Amino acid sequence: MAVTGTRRADPASPRTANLAAILRALRAGPLSRTQLAARCGVGKSAVSGLLAELAERGLVRAAGVLPGNGRPSRLVELDGEGAYALALSIEADRLSAVVTDLAGHLLAEHAETVDVAALGLQRCLDELAHLAHRVLPGPPVGVAISVPGLVDSAAAVLRFAPALRWRDAEIAGLMAARLNLPVEAIAVDNEANLGALAESIEGAGSELFYLSGGTAVGGGLVSGGTILRGARGFAGEVGHIAVDPIGERCSCGRTGCLETKANLAAVLRAAAAPGDPLHDPALGVEGRVALLKDRIRRGDQRAVTAVHELGVALGVALSTVVDVLDPEVVVLGGYFAELGDWLVEPVRVELAARPLGHARVVPSELGLRAPLRGAAHLAAERLFANPALFEEASV
């Protein structure tokens, strides 16, 4: 980090870091200079200088006054009119594209149900680029892609996505060509990491573990407000924590891994007999989970028992995660969020049985959309980290 007095944004300078801190703080809504100074740990006079530069760049604007005792203080909010963050997501059965402003407000979205594994990498990315062009009103300031697998985020390479049977897919490079953007404009991250980021930015907590349920089970860690990726970008893997010594054989060769009990198909098998509509892939994840919730509400004992047992299995695995990470809150994401009414309690019971287990347990308020929202925030990050980009883009 270099100390510099220049007013031009040098990506490595503390001034740029302060500009970014202010933009990030404003994501949550309008703030006064005093509030910004407190949130960003910057002197009030410095805040005024930084805001002047951001206003000049068209990234912040006045937003009325905060009525208070004494003289009212003027508020500022994010502007960035024409700054578009593009969030894309690849799920086993669905491709989605979302455009937001810098604050993460939805501007446009489109999704398609497709069998991604059958489509294959190249055609999937063609389709994804097609969706992107369809929703984008103009060139994006940044792009982030949510993928269901292990991502080497430094290299922006998807190392392995079991559900898609993809290995070492250079998604950033392949999409850069399709979107006619520089590769560094495109971030690729694991859906659980992005879900964790979204929940943290949108208020769930700054020390957070996000458990993601879908065709597989994943996890994302946020500490001090930033994603913890570990040495290779694989941190947060909880699918192979043993939860049942006499359980099913797992793809990893072991027995009773969380993955074998908590993946959606396994829970649905426990909840209904073969041939039941609950197993119909055509319904997609949302459709099958909606049907399962309906069964539970109607008191279907088999469905109730299956989901309760899922909660116990999640609790056993999460009690180890809580011991190791000591998060403030555990967020149940993906399809677990949809089943929060029935999962939170058994998870809490398991955590309470541990000597240290004091983390709060909540369902993700963003539900199945959390990874896409996280991707939108990550896409906007590129501009926050270097506000000069917007100027350049809008020249």
Q: Which residues bind its own copies (CB under 8 A)?
A: 1-3, 5, 12, 14-15, 17-18, 21, 40-43, 46, 150, 205, 207, 219, 221, 223, 228-242, 245, 251-254, 319-321, 323-328, 353-356, 358-359
Least CB distance from residue 23 to its own copies, whole Å?
Answer: 14
Write the DSSP symbol of residue 298. Answer: T
> Residue 322: what are its φ and ψ, rounded to 5°?
-65, -40
Adjacency order of strands within the sheet including 31-32: 31-32, 73-78, 60-66
Least CB distance from residue 154 to its own copies, whole Å?
Answer: 12
Name the residue with tokens 């909540």.
362
The span from the CA of 265 to the CA of 215, in Å, is 7
Beta strands 106-113 and 94-100, pairing class: antiparallel
Residue 78 CA: distances (Å) to CA of 49, 59, 131, 298, 383: 16, 6, 27, 46, 12
Cβ proximity to its own copies, 113 vs 206, nearer residue: 206
Cβ proximity to its own copies, 96 vs 190, nearer residue: 190
Cβ proximity to its own copies, 15 vs 288, nearer residue: 15
Cβ proximity to its own copies, 67 vs 224, nearer residue: 224
Q: Which of 211, 209, 142 is nearest to 179 (CA)?
A: 142
Least CB distance from residue 111 to its own copies, whole Å?
Answer: 30
Least CB distance from residue 33 to its own copies, whole Å?
Answer: 14
Helix, strand, coil shares of the chain as percentages rounded to 5?
A: 45, 25, 30
Name the residue with tokens 């073969």.
274
Least CB distance from residue 223 to its own copies, whole Å?
Answer: 6
Least CB distance from residue 240 to its own copies, whole Å?
Answer: 6
Least CB distance from residue 205 to its own copies, whole Å?
Answer: 8
The span from the CA of 331 to the CA of 199, in Å, is 8
Cβ proximity to its own copies, 99 vs 316, nearer residue: 316
Least CB distance from residue 131 to its own copies, whole Å?
Answer: 31
Cβ proximity to its own copies, 15 vs 295, nearer residue: 15
Name the residue with tokens 């019971």.
349
34's CB contacts (< 8 A; 6+ apart) are 44, 73
Helix (H, G, I), strand (E, B) or coil at 73: strand
Q: How many residues does the chain have?
A: 395
**Chain CA centroid to CA 349, Å:** 27
Cβ proximity to its own copies, 67 vs 355, nearer residue: 355
Cβ proximity to its own copies, 338 vs 381, nearer residue: 381
Least CB distance from residue 363 to its own copies, whole Å?
Answer: 19
Strand partners, 100: 85, 106
Write the DSSP symbol of residue 70. Answer: S
Residue 140 CA: distances (Å) to CA of 60, 182, 376: 18, 11, 11
Cβ proximity to its own copies, 15 vs 33, nearer residue: 15
The span from the CA of 278 to the CA of 292, in Å, is 7
